Structure 1
Amino acid sequence: MAEYGTIRDVAGSAAANIDAGLRAHMNKVYGTMSVGMFITFLAAWAISGLAVTTDPSQAAAQMPNGKLLTSLGVALYASPLKWVVMFAPLAFVFGLSAAINKMSAATAQTVFYIFATVMGVSISSIFLVFTGYSIIQIFLVTSIAFAGLSLWGYTTQKDISGWGSFLIMGVIGLVVASIVNIWLASPAIMFAVSAIGVLIFAGLTAYDTQRIKTEYVAHAHHGDTEWLGKAAIMGALSLYLNFINMFMMLLSLFGNRE
């Protein structure tokens, strides 16, 4: 009986350590993601401020909604450079995913923050197209929805790992449809992509949260702090992308334009 009690105490202590480690791991994931979000929106706001002017003598072009663009604004939104700005975040995601095993956790975190800055430049046009109140309103709605979905993914006892392949195929379909619609410019396709995209990234938010939790529990016994550090960065990247995409699609659906 004494031996059984000792084994039970050891098992209980190990479980408690894993629970404490999991909380710290998830805090790091959400903390890194939150810093990335702050950097993104700060960069987007700053760049949009440099891209627009109220002085006609400094204007290089005028948008259909009447906003005057500086030479920087023209370069970012009306020149071939816009394609680089548009697809740069996608290239960063693929590059970070491919090179993460060769990086240290600190380097991966720095690259993630650089990526967040590039994403901010890429989405900076929202401050030229949508009203500031609308952007804040949709951001708050997205935050509430994201928090609820992530909490459900973390606490549910249901195994939703089977959602992964279906959701990833959905994301690929969205990317293809979005690229095709760059040339078609169809409002119907844009509406469909945004509506379906909200559902897909909502599902990915819950799925990725559970995946991050499951991966930590599976590797916690090995004590590989370097791997866990990089796993936290990649987890933050996954949730960050889900949030940004859900926000942009909700803004496209319900945002008030200038």
Structure 2
Amino acid sequence: MNDNLIFTESQSGLSAFFTKIYSLVGIGIGLSAFVSWLMLYPFQQNLLTIMTQYPWVYMGAFFIELALVFLASNAARKNTAAALPLFLTYSALNGFTLSFIIVQYAQTTVVQAFVSSALVFFVMAGIGATIKKDLSGMAKALMAALIGIVIASIVNIFMGSGTMNFIISIVSVLIFSGLIAYDNQMIKRVYHQTGGNVQDGWAISMALSLYLDFINLFLNLLRLFGRND
């Protein structure tokens, strides 16, 4: 009976940990979506002005984003108070830069890509949270493939190949789908390895990983669905 009570408490604690992480992911995605909406509608003229006259603003924001990801990840690992503000700041800034990409596609394409991303995300999250097989080996292979995709993307900037871009997008969808499953398995692993005494920094770190998985999945599906836009 005591064993059943301990198991129930463990499951309850794990569920609370998942809830905390997914609440942060939801806040991050919601904040990005809100900022993108502001740029695409109320501030559409400002968006177009930046695109046509001040493209360096977009590039500057992009490089600031890279720094924020590094800072937020580092702060989360150290469990410092700056982790959450950095994560939220990154999410808001990412919404700003996403608007420059989204504006190039039809609204129906954007909705289609977002809904598809959400469906894939939750299916892979469910697989990752329930599968018994250790996905660590798969994750290493996916990270190696991701490095290859980044290199191929840089090369394709100069080649401008539509076929190469199509292949990169398909492979990227597969990579980030797999990483979603792995990251969800990692949530369980971290919780059990710490005996349920997980710090807030871990929740923010895992939320950041899942947020990045979702955004990259969305962007690649957007490119696939919007090839003719």
TM-score normalised per structure 2: 0.90
Alpha carbons 1:89, 1:122 under 8 Å: kept: no
Aligned-pair RMSD on alpha carbons?
2.2
% same residue:
33
Q: Residue 4 of structure 1 corresponds to which residue in structure 2?
A: none
Q: How many angstroms does 1:256 deviate by?
A: 6.4
In structure 2, C-alpha distance between the alignment counterparts of 1:91 and 1:182, rounded to whole Å: 22
**Could you list the runs of 5+ residues in structure 1 that have no partner in the other structure?**
1-8, 54-58, 60-67
Aligned CA distance change for structure 1 residues 182 and 85 (closer, same or farther; 3 Å): farther
Alpha carbons 2:73, 2:83 under 8 Å: kept: no
Three-state SS of the structure 2 residue aligned to 1:100 is helix
Give the structure, 1 or 2, with the largest relative contact order (CA under 8 Å, sep 6 or more). 2
Q: Residue 245 of structure 1 corresponds to which residue in structure 2?
A: 216
Q: Residue 135 of structure 1 corresponds to which residue in structure 2?
A: 110
Q: Residue 126 of structure 2 corresponds to which residue in structure 1?
A: 151
Q: Which moved more, 1:111-120 or 1:174-183?
A: 174-183
| 2:65 pairs with 1:89 | yes
Q: How many angstroms does 1:119 deviate by?
A: 0.9
In structure 2, C-alpha distance between the alignment counterparts of 1:256 and 1:174, rounded to whole Å: 19
Q: How many angstroms does 1:51 deviate by?
A: 5.7
Q: How many angstroms does 1:183 deviate by?
A: 3.2
Aligned pairs for 1:1-258 within 5 A = 9-49=1-41, 52-53=44-45, 69-70=48-49, 72-74=50-52, 79-104=55-80, 106-221=81-196, 223=197, 225=198, 227=199, 229-255=200-226, 258=229
Q: Tell me the number of residue pairs that the alignment of Structure 1 and Structure 2 aligns.
A: 229
Q: Amino acid of the residue matched to residue 76 of structure 2?
A: I
Q: Find the structure with the greater CA-based Rg.
A: 1
**Could you list the runs of 5+ residues in structure 2 that have no partner in the other structure?**
none
Q: Which moved more, 1:248-257 or 1:24-33?
A: 248-257
Superposed CA offset, 1:61-86 (max 9, x none) = xxxxxxx922x3435xx533332233
In structure 2, C-alpha distance between the alignment counterparts of 1:192 and 1:89, rounded to whole Å: 26
Superposed CA offset, 1:107-138 (max 9, x none) = 31221111101111121123321111211111
